[in-house]
Amino acid sequence: MQQPSPPWWNKPKPLTRNNDMSPSQQELDALASLEERITRAVELVMTLRTEKADLEAQRDAAIQELDELRSERKQVRTRIEKLLGQMDLLSGT
């Protein structure tokens, strides 16, 4: 003997949006969906371009700082070599 199905199984399924819409309404809905996706894509591209510009500026600043540090290191090395040369002169006499 088959058991009766619970009442919540017998509820009618809700109509989908496409079943109760005319073809022109479906096209408009599809167009609106496409428009929304394109708008989100444009916003994402704009955001990514801004982030790229910021990262390029950070990279350029880091390169400049690195060049300055290399120049400073070269100056320090030259001064130390000069001081060591003077110490050699003092210890040689």
Give 10-44 pLDDT, tens digit per residue.
Answer: 555 555 555 567 878 888 899 999 999 999 999 99
Burial string for 4-16 (b: 16+ CB within 10 Å, else e) reads: eeeeeeeeeeeee
Compute the CA torsion angle 16, 20, 22, 25 (nearest 10 deg). -50
Output 4 or 55, whichever has higher pLDDT. Answer: 55
Phi, psi of 17 (to 5 degrees): -65, -35
The single-letter code of the amino acid at 23 is: P
Give 71-84 pLDDT, tens digit per residue.
Answer: 999 999 999 999 99
Whole-model pTM: value is: 0.56
| Per-residue pLDDT at 24 | 84
Give 60-72 pLDDT, tens digit per residue.
Answer: 999 999 999 999 9
